[in-house]
Amino acid sequence: MLMTWTLVGLAVVAVLVVYYFRRHRQDQISGMLEKRRGTAKLVSRAEYVEGLESMPVAMALTADAFYYENPDLEASFDLNRIDEIEYGDELATGRVVGANSHVLRLRSHGTVFEFILNNDDSARWKAAMPPRRLGQTEARVG
């Protein structure tokens, strides 16, 4: 009986630890969004997807750069390095995203960057960064 209660207690502690770290990460991402809000044209939360892995990020668009970051990742690239911009309902792997989400897919020199956005944020990003294909006249970004 003591062993059962010990296992239940350990399970509860494990769940609380996971909840704490998720909550803490969300607070850190909120801080990153606030930091960028003053200088960026557009900021929002997203899920950065690479293969089968995904991680929450803060995305920001300035006049000349695109940023995506979280406590473990600080990445950006110049807007003139983006070859293609696409929006869709499925990832490059073929996995369909949820009904209230869309994919923002950026291609830069043969490398694909995918972000899952909620519907409202997707519409704002689409207005700020309209879709375009390689070889098309560059659409005005921002």
51 within 8 A of 94, measured Cβ to Cβ: no
* 107 bridge partner residues: 84, 112
Percent of the chain clearing pLDDT 90 (strictly above): 50
85 within 8 A of 103, measured Cβ to Cβ: no
Selection from 47, 73, 77, 85 nearest residue 61 by Cα: 77
Which domains does the chain show, CATH number per domain? Answer: 2-128 (2.30.29.30)
Query: What stretches in the chain show pLDDT beneath 70?
Result: 16-28, 135-142
Q: What is the pLDDT of residue 23?
A: 58
- Angstrom distance (rounded) from CA 85 to CA 139: 10
What's the CA angle centered on 126, arms 120 and 132, to 5 degrees? 160
Q: What is the pLDDT of residue 19?
A: 63
Q: What is the pLDDT of residue 7?
A: 81
Q: What is the pLDDT of residue 25?
A: 56
The whole-model pTM stands at 0.75
Query: 75 CB contacts (<8 Å, ≥6 apart)?
Result: 67, 68, 69
Q: What is the pLDDT of residue 24?
A: 53
Q: What is the pLDDT of residue 127?
A: 94
CA 126 to chain centroid, in Å, comes to 15
Q: What is the pLDDT of residue 55?
A: 92
Selection from 31, 109, 32 nearest residue 68 by Cα: 32
Q: What is the pLDDT of residue 131?
A: 92
